[in-house]
Structure formats: structure tokens, C-alpha cells
């Protein structure tokens, strides 16, 4: 379209061609989840792809619940899915649809096939149907019910609908080709009897359409033009095309497949996550160690970071797996200039400035983000007693250790130079206090150029700092040994969650659910929306500052 020099992925190239050839006048896409679980990062790819294409071509994006299977679906999931999609920024406007709203039209479509002699009621049971189907190397056999008259089929199908047929006793099948090299075309079942309540239609129906029949119809009813789905449906495309053609749509939709997004060593399977929740290993589907959209949001990932990630992954037909480090890279990039950089001490040890007058304090004005001055400044109290990280002091430092050790001088971040004079140990030989002197001339921002120091460490004022719980995460999988144990269970990392009591700047104690910050020298953190209480904030580490990921150059 308009933009030049922007490379088009293969789907966009196909759409361009369809528009050029006049196959369609405009573009309509959809995201069609089954409401049977929470959405995960893989679904985000599909959502953003479909929504992005609709945007790019000034078309329409539909949100549609593919709720044709009453056994697995729950209303709870409908709500969580809507929330996740809106959060990702995909706005469906007036186009919130439910496949179950089309049950009557689907029934009519089936009737029209029967009338054309393109569908028949079959009395074979599931096992017989399987036997008759043949194999990849042998053609199938025709069902003895295949040549029922149109009248008989119409009457039988009606009796199926009327509840006169028990579950499994009859099905409606498309009449295509039992010798087709594509197994999906060997007279697939398109309706089954299931005396079961549905979350939307209640007990109105006791026959339900099969996915391969329902899905193309849903797309066609809504005027979807490009039905984007993942590769496992490639072999189903001939059936998709058959359905929309035989039912006779003027502008039938077109199915295009792309590769699923997989993250290396990351668990997305519902079965596994369900078990982790049931075994109490994670605290729900939104546990920040998971990659459901709800979990990523709770952890502090932003919609922009997920968008960037999905863009970097690209769209292709080749199955591949992406490193989690790339997702981390994206959230770091997104938060880098947006977030205030605050001080928090995760493993505190006291620092006493012996020559700072007892009882005195001063307010320092600290810059919130040295790379983005628009974020302004904040006031922080400085005083005689501070907390610093335990690892920022060493009694006997190794080479190239530039932080505190006896006789060494460092900069306290955006404050003064301090020089280590002595330290105190407890009865177990553990250092409990570091004593320093400070040089009032070296105040940050004063223009002091007298001498330089090699190390800068962060701190919080002991008098003002507030305690907060911080949670550090690692992959729930023990990556060294692979995802699964020999018995098929997950190979869990015992250190996937570490909880610490930190001292943080007092302003952080006022932060609200979902607020996020950089804790300098450590990482990005987000206030946990589930477990934080008034006066007791809990922080999730989104990501550390250290990155192993390098953006590939192209
Ligand atoms: P899962 O079993 O992983 O939850 P699903 O395919 O059963 O996934 P659906 O609700 O059927 O979930 O999927 C909705 C849409 O999301 C489909 O169009 C599907 O192709 C797409 N999708 C599912 N998983 C991925 C993935 N890993 N990458 C990209 N798209 C995906
Ligand atoms: Mg599915």
C-alpha cells in the first residue's frame, strides 16, 4: 500500500495481491479463541497480527469467541480473554461476536448442503467411521448410509435437532470424496449429537457443528476476508474452501496459515499449567513466572513490549522457537526511558557516616532518569545512617573491585563521596556495619572536580526507608536439564522464586498496583496488583538490567 520501502510479510503480500486483483474491496480479520483457558504469549502474536493487519489496511477487526464446543468452555474465560485483548490494545469496536450466535444459520447451511446432495446423515459409530476412513496409504470406504435420499436426510437431520437421537447414534457428514489423498476430505463429520447445555444457548441445541464446518461459516457470515491461522490447519484448508464454496458465499473468505510462536524452555501447554496451579507450585494462571497474558501483565510487561517482541519475531511459515531473553530485551527497551530510576536495597547492610553530624538530615534533589530529563527530579533525604547493598562492601576485595573496602572512596549515587574507615562484625564474624567519612565538597551537582572515584553505589536513608517485599523470578523450568523429566513431568527449577525484604525509598511505598520503576543497578520492578496491600507493597522483578540478548543486525 502507501508506505514505501517497508518490507511486507508474506501475508501482506497475499493481501496486496487480493486487493489488486479485486478479489476483495476491503480487509476484515478476526481473532477466534476458544474460551477454554487463558491466553498466552503465542496468542498475543495472533491477536496483534490480525489487529495490525486490519489497522494497516484500514479494515475491520473482529473479536469472536469460537464457542461451538459446550464441553470445555467456561464464562470465566470469556471475561479474561476480553480483558487481555483490550489490554494488548486490539480494539474490536462493535465487533464482538460469538460463534454460538450463528447456530441457526449454521443449521440452515447444513440443510442447504443436504438439499444439494452434499451432506448425509450417517449411522456409523465413531469407531466405524474411523475404520471406513482408510489410512494415508489406503483410500477409505463409502458409508452404507452415503446414498440416502435428500428427503430421508432432511427428515433425519431434523430429528437429530429435535432431540430424538441419542448422543453418538447419528452424525451429519459432508459428502466429498472417500478416496481423497487428504484425509480431512473423506466425508468429514460436520454435526454431532450432544445433549449438553451450552454457556450461551443453554438447552436450545442438542446438535453441535464441528470445528471444520463451523469455522469457515463463522468467517463467511461476518464478511471476514483473510482468516489467519496457525500451520496445523494447513491440511484443513481444502475443507475450509469446500464449505464456503458449497454453501455459496459471494465473497468467500480465504485461509492463510503462519507458524506458531514458541518460546524455548517455556511452558505454555494448558495441561501443564493446570497441574502447576493445582499442585500449588504457582499461585494461579497469572503467576508472574508464567507467560499467560495475565501473568505477563502482573509481572509488569507492557503492551508495547509485547508488541515489539511480536514484531521482532516476524511472521513466517517456518516453525521456530524464540529465546525468552528476547522478550526481556523488549521490556527493557520499552521501560528504559519511561520509568523513574529509584533506589532500593535488596540485601541491606548499614553504612554510618561518622563525620556527618548526628541528628542532621538534608534533602537532596535527585534526577529521576539520567537519560530522560523530562521525568524530572524528586527529593530524597540524606543523613548519617544509610543502607547499602551487602555486596557493595568487601573486607578483602579481589582485583578490580571498585566498591567499598577499607581505605577506598566511592560515590554515593547522586550524593557525596564517602571513604571507608572501619567496619563492625557480629559474634559470628558477619559484617553488620560499615563506617565511613564523607567529603562535603563532593556533593553531586556542585561541580566538584578535585578527584575521581571508580565506584558508584546506591543507598537509602535508614531513617526514612520503608521495607517492602521484592520477588525475584527465574524460569520455572530447570533449563540446564531440559523441560521434561523422563516420566513426562516438568523438570522444575527450585529457585524460580526468591523473596526478599528490601529497604526502598519512601515514595515507593506509595506506589499503586501495576506501577513500575527501575531499581538502579538491579532491574525493573512492578507493584504486584494481587498481593500488595496499603502500607505493604510487594514488588515483582520484571527483568534484571543485565542482558544476554543481542539484537540481530540486518
Ligand atoms: P493453546 O492450546 O496453546 O491454548 P489453541 O490453539 O488451542 O492454543 P485457540 O483458542 O484455539 O487456542 O487459539 C486462538 C487462536 O490463536 C488461533 O487462531 C490459533 O491459531 C492462535 N494461536 C494459538 N497458539 C498460538 C501460538 N503459539 N502462536 C501463534 N498463534 C497461536
Ligand atoms: Mg484450540
Q: Which of the four pLDDT bands, split at 50, 70 and 90, describes residue 320?
A: confident
- Cα–Cα distances in angstroms (integers) from residue 465 to residues 109, 219, 267, 362, in the given order: 68, 57, 38, 14
Q: Is 228 in a helix, a strand, or coil?
A: strand
Cβ–Cβ under 8 Å, residues 294 and 38: yes
What predicted TM-score, i.e. pTM, was given to this entire model? 0.93
* Whether residue 117 has pLDDT greater than 50: yes
Ligand 1 pocket test, candidate residues 39, 42, 50, most atoms within 8 A of CB: 42
**pLDDT tens digits, residue range 469-495?**
999 999 999 988 888 988 888 999 999
State what percent of residues in the chain have pLDDT above 70. 98
**Nearest Cα to 98, choosing from 161, 43, 44, 32?**
32
Cα 10 to averaged position of ligand 2 atoms, centre (Å): 24
66-72 average pLDDT score = 88
Q: Which of the four pLDDT bands, split at 50, 70 and 90, describes residue 2?
A: very low
Which residues have C-beta atoms less than 6 Å from ligand 1?
A: 32-34, 37, 42-43, 45-46, 229-230, 260-261, 268, 270
H/E run at residue 345: strand 344-345
Q: From CA 39, how far away is CA 294, in angstroms rounded?
A: 8
Listed range (97-106, 178-187, 317-326) with the worst mean pLDDT: 317-326
27-36 average pLDDT score = 96
* Whether residue 150 has pLDDT greater than 50: yes
Nearest CA owner, ligand 1 atom 26: 42
Sign for the CA dihedral angle at 377, 379, 383, 386 comes to: negative
- Grid cell, residue 374, equals 523530562
* Whether residue 552 has pLDDT greater than 80: no
Query: How many separate helices (H) and strands (E) can be counted in the chain?
Result: 12, 27
- Grid cell, residue 212, equals 471444520
**Nearest Cα to 312, choosing from 9, 1, 2, 10?**
9
Q: Is pLDDT larger for residue 479 or for residue 218?
A: 218
Ligand nearest to the CA of 40: 1
- Grid cell, residue 90, equals 486490539
448-452 average pLDDT score = 94
Cα 40 to averaged position of ligand 1 atoms, centre (Å): 8
Q: Where are the alpha helices (DSSP H) in 223-364?
A: 237-247, 270-278, 293-299, 303-313, 324-336
Q: What are phi and psi of 69, to 5 degrees?
A: -115, 100
- Cα–Cα distances in angstroms (integers) from residue 370 to residues 86, 166, 377, 414, in the given order: 33, 71, 10, 11
Q: Is 367 in a helix, a strand, or coil?
A: strand
- Grid cell, residue 88, equals 494488548
**pLDDT tens digits, residue range 397-438?**
999 999 999 999 999 999 999 999 999 999 999 999 999 999
Cα 61 to averaged position of ligand 1 atoms, centre (Å): 17
**pLDDT tens digits, residue range 92-102?**
999 999 999 99
Cα 15 to averaged position of ligand 1 atoms, centre (Å): 22
Q: Which of the four pLDDT bands, split at 50, 70 and 90, describes residue 235?
A: very high
Burial class (CB in 10 A: 0-12, 13-18, 19+), 477: buried
H/E run at residue 351: strand 348-353
83-90 average pLDDT score = 98
Burial class (CB in 10 A: 0-12, 13-18, 19+), 35: buried
486-509 average pLDDT score = 94
pLDDT, position 319? 86
509-536 average pLDDT score = 96
Q: Is 107 in a helix, a strand, or coil?
A: helix
**pLDDT tens digits, residue range 356-400?**
999 999 999 999 999 999 999 999 999 999 999 999 999 999 999
Cβ–Cβ under 8 Å, residues 292 and 273: yes
State what percent of residues in the chain have pLDDT above 90. 91
Listed range (41-50, 274-283, 367-376, 499-508) with the worst mean pLDDT: 274-283
DSSP state letter for 381 = E
**Nearest Cα to 521, choosing from 413, 416, 440?**
413
Which atom of ligand 1 is nearest the CA belonging to 36? 10
Q: How many CB atoms lie within 10 A of CB 546?
A: 9
Q: From CA 219, how far away is CA 229, in angstroms rounded?
A: 12
DSSP state letter for 224 = -
* Whether residue 279 has pLDDT greater than 50: yes
Cα 425 to averaged position of ligand 2 atoms, centre (Å): 60
Q: Is 221 in a helix, a strand, or coil?
A: helix
Cβ–Cβ under 8 Å, residues 299 and 473: yes
Q: From CA 480, how far away is CA 363, in angstroms rounded?
A: 48
Q: Which of the four pLDDT bands, split at 50, 70 and 90, describes residue 554?
A: low
Q: What is the mean pLDDT of the chain?
A: 95
- Grid cell, residue 228, equals 489467519
H/E run at residue 150: helix 150-161
pLDDT, position 480? 86
Beta bridge partners of 208: 192
Ligand nearest to the CA of 316: 1
CA angle in degrees (0–180, nearest 5) for 243-244-245: 90
Q: From CA 369, how far away is CA 371, in angstroms rounded?
A: 5
Nearest CA owner, ligand 1 atom 23: 43
Amino acid at each position: 500500500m502507501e508506505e514505501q520501502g517497508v518490507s511486507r510479510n508474506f501475508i501482506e503480500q497475499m493481501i496486496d495481491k487480493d486487493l489488486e486483483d479485486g478479489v476483495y474491496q476491503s480487509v476484515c480479520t478476526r481473532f477466534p479463541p476458544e474460551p477454554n483457558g487463558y491466553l498466552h504469549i503465542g496468542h498475543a502474536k495472533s491477536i496483534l497480527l490480525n489487529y495490525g493487519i486490519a489497522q494497516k489496511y484500514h479494515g475491520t477487526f473482529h473479536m469472536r469467541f469460537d464457542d461451538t464446543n459446550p464441553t470445555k468452555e467456561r464464562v470465566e474465560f470469556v471475561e479474561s480473554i476480553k480483558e487481555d485483548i483490550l489490554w494488548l490494545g486490539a480494539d474490536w469496536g462493535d465487533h464482538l461476536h460469538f460463534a454460538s450466535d450463528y447456530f441457526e444459520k449454521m443449521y440452515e447451511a447444513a440443510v442447504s448442503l443436504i438439499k444439494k446432495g452434499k451432506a448425509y446423515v450417517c449411522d456409523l459409530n465413531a469407531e466405524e467411521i474411523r475404520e471406513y476412513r482408510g489410512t494415508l496409504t489406503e483410500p477409505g470406504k463409502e458409508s452404507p448410509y452415503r446414498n440416502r435420499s435428500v428427503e430421508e436426510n432432511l427428515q433425519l437431520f431434523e430429528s437429530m435437532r429435535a432431540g430424538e437421537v441419542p448422543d453418538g447414534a447419528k452424525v451429519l457428514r459432508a459428502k466429498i470424496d472417500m478416496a481423497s489423498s487428504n484425509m480431512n476430505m473423506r466425508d468429514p463429520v460436520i454435526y454431532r449429537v450432544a445433549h449438553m447445555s451450552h454457556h450461551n444457548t443453554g438447552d436450545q441445541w442438542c446438535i453441535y457443528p464441528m470445528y471444520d464446518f463451523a469455522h469457515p461459516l463463522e468467517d463467511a457470515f461476518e464478511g471476514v476476508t483473510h482468516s489467519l491461522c496457525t500451520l496445523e490447519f494447513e491440511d484443513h484448508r481444502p475443507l475450509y474452501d469446500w464449505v464456503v464454496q458449497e454453501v455459496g458465499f459471494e465473497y468467500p473468505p480465504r485461509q492463510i496459515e503462519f507458524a506458531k510462536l514458541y518460546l524455548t524452555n517455556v511452558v505454555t501447554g494448558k495441561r501443564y499449567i493446570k497441574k502447576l496451579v493445582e499442585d500449588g507450585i504457582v499461585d494461579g494462571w497469572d503467576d508472574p513466572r508464567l507467560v499467560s497474558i495475565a501473568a505477563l501483565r502482573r509481572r509488569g510487561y507492557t503492551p508495547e513490549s509485547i508488541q515489539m517482541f511480536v514484531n521482532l519475531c516476524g511472521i513466517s511459515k517456518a516453525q521456530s522457537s524464540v529465546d525468552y531473553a528476547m522478550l526481556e530485551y523488549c521490556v527493557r527497551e520499552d521501560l528504559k526511558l519511561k520509568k523513574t530510576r529509584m533506589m532500593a536495597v535488596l540485601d541491606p547492610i548499614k553504612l554510618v557516616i561518622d563525620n556527618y553530624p548526628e541528628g542532621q538530615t538534608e534533602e537532596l534533589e535527585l534526577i529521576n532518569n539520567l537519560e530522560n530529563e523530562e521525568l524530572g527530579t524528586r527529593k530524597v533525604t540524606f543523613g548519617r545512617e544509610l543502607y547499602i547493598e551487602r555486596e557493595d562492601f568487601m573486607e578483602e576485595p579481589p582485583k578490580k573491585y571498585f566498591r567499598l573496602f577499607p581505605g577506598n572512596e566511592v560515590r554515593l549515587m547522586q550524593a557525596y563521596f564517602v571513604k571507608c574507615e572501619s567496619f563492625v562484625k557480629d559474634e559470628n564474624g558477619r559484617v553488620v556495619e560499615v563506617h565511613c567519612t564523607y567529603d562535603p565538597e563532593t556533593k553531586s551537582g556542585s561541580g566538584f572536580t578535585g578527584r575521581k572515584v571508580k565506584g558508584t553505589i546506591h543507598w537509602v536513608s535508614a531513617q526514612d526507608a520503608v521495607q517492602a517485599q521484592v520477588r525475584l523470578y527465574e524460569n520455572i523450568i530447570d533449563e540446564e536439564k531440559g523441560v521434561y523429566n523422563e516420566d513426562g513431568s516438568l523438570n522444575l527449577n527450585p529457585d524460580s522464586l526468591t523473596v526478599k525484604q528490601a529497604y526502598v525509598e519512601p515514595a515507593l511505598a506509595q506506589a499503586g498496583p501495576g506501577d513500575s520503576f527501575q531499581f538502579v543497578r538491579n532491574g525493573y520492578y512492578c507493584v504486584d496488583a494481587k498481593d500488595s496491600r496499603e502500607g505493604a507493597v510487594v514488588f515483582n522483578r520484571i527483568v534484571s538490567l543485565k542482558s544476554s540478548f543481542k539484537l540481530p543486525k540486518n
